[in-house]
Amino acid sequence: MSTAIVWFRRDLRLADNPALCAAVQRHRHVLPVYIDDADAESPWAPGGASRWWLHHSLDSLHRDLQRLGARLILRQGASLEQLRQLIGQVGAGAVYWNRLYEPAFVARDKSIKEALREAGVQAESFNAALLFEPWQLKTAAGEPYRVFSPFWRNADARLQTRLAAGATPLPAPDALSMPEACADSGSLEGLDLLPRIAWDDGFHRAWTPGERGAHARLDAFAADAAAHYRQRRDHPAVNATSGLSSALHFGEVSPLQLVVCMQRLAASPAGAVSLANAEWFVRELGWREFAHHLLYHFARTPEFPLNERFAAFPWRPRHQYAADLGAWQRGRTGVPIIDAGMRQLWRTGWMHNRVRMIVASFLTKNLLIPWLEGARWFWDTLVDASLANNTLGWQWSAGCGADAAPYFRIFNPVRQSARFDAEGAYIHRWVPELAGLSGDALHAPWQAAPALLRGAGVVLGQTYPAPITDLAGSRARALAAYERIKGAQSAQSD
């Protein structure tokens, strides 16, 4: 058993990688492998934006491995078949990997582990993606959580105990020794991950995939935005978030690394980051944990509402909403904050979290378009598309998921825009045809005086779309639809 295979998946880093660490500690030789197994990810195979990120992250990992004296072996096909071939080629006696938590992967990996062990191969998996395994946290009744606040109270208490006991990320290996036997490898280009039409120019300007890029972004966040995280994180025009969601999803950085970084910043003599800001950032990591907890325990939620009563929600039929869906996707709804968010998404593969909530509420409440339409669009266009986060976010926005609020939440996009983009910098960046407007006219141009619009060079329906729906009327329609499935309950507009 001198050789072990390390099967990389969405753990594309060298540091704090328990599968890699175990292989290095226990075996003389290590074979790093990535398998492109498209069939295993159906029906939620990665979208175009995610595949772009994956390509560049794999390239970065390969270069990092080369610095250690190794290389990344790339294969395509069924994972078990490819692993068996590799075991035969290099005489490996063990296969290590880090766990994934999507329902399809849980079932597949269990069968692979059983098959390898039956063949006399050591097969072991580790947790590299989460602070806690989804099955570790339960309610007092022994059930999975459905509400975030009690979930996080439990998780945070356990996390503080771990930190007090000295939990630290694992170091990256100093060197790797590949087995002498040759293992065939395909090319990165052969995985066909990049778009065939060059729509990704904005991605290159916005992102640097890979472990080194993730830590550079973390360093920049720690040096600046982290100090004001809680106060500014909801303002999309301000660089106040970490921007590490994609790095977390692809495993270029671990949640424990982020927690320890925040802990050190809060404890530093300089006091660059207050304890409140550090705790709030870690709490946001808790939402990611909660999303994976829900997906693991409620495996049908990527396509079915957690609140089963919403299966009967009276969404508009597709032939009625198709044009509105297209306008939403293109950022042509006539509501500036919505259009700014959707254009940011298309250009950069990312959207500010506050704006994600606003555009999702608009789609599901004001347009009465099924949340799955939005989830699928985000899945294809987000570089940080995570099945767990995507499902939680869209079901929360639609009102059919895990949510302690006793009312049907409907965001008012104009009010949200005025509150979180008061100066209009975010809208001006992504909707430049409204550059001449400011104040109330910018947030709701259809309410502005015609002379003011003319002076700014704005002609609704020509230079900029007229709104595709009436906000007040569509809100009332959404509340009426809600009453049909839930009965009379209090409703509130944020």
* Strands, E assignment, 24-82: 29-36, 73-76
The SS3 call for residue 202 is: helix
pLDDT value, residue 494: 59
Tell me the per-residue pLDDT of 370-420, one tens digit each, with 9 for 90 and over.
999 999 999 999 999 999 999 999 999 999 999 756 668 899 999 999 999
Residues 6+ apart with CB under 8 A from 9: 34, 97, 98, 100, 251
Tell me the per-residue pLDDT of 452-483, one tens digit each, with 9 for 90 and over.
999 999 999 999 999 999 999 999 999 999 99
Each as own residue / partner, the long-range contacts of residues 373-376 (CB below 8 Å, 24 or more positions apart, any chain) are 373/325, 375/302
Location of structure tokens 């492109």: 36
pLDDT value, residue 408: 82
Quick count: other Cβ atoms within 10 Å of Cβ 94? 21
- The Cα–Cα gap between 399 and 383 comes to 25
Report the interhelical angle of 255-267 vs 211-223 (nearest 10°). Answer: 30
- The Cα–Cα gap between 358 and 370 comes to 15
Q: What's at 142, amino acid-wise?
A: G
Residue 402 near residue 392 (C-beta atoms within 8 A): yes
Tell me the per-residue pLDDT of 338-374, one tens digit each, with 9 for 90 and over.
999 999 999 999 999 999 999 999 999 999 999 999 9
| Helix, strand, coil shares, percent, the chain, to 5 | 55, 5, 40
Residue 350 near residue 384 (C-beta atoms within 8 A): yes
Q: What's at 400, amino acid-wise?
A: C
The SS3 call for residue 189 is: helix
* Domains of the chain, earliest start first: 3-127 (3.40.50.620), 130-169+213-297 (1.25.40.80), 308-493 (1.10.579.10)
What token pair was written down for 464?
């900029």
- The Cα–Cα gap between 319 and 322 comes to 6
Distance spanning both ends of the chain, measured CA to CA: 61
Mean pLDDT of the region 115-136: 98
pLDDT value, residue 405: 66
Residue 256 near residue 282 (C-beta atoms within 8 A): no
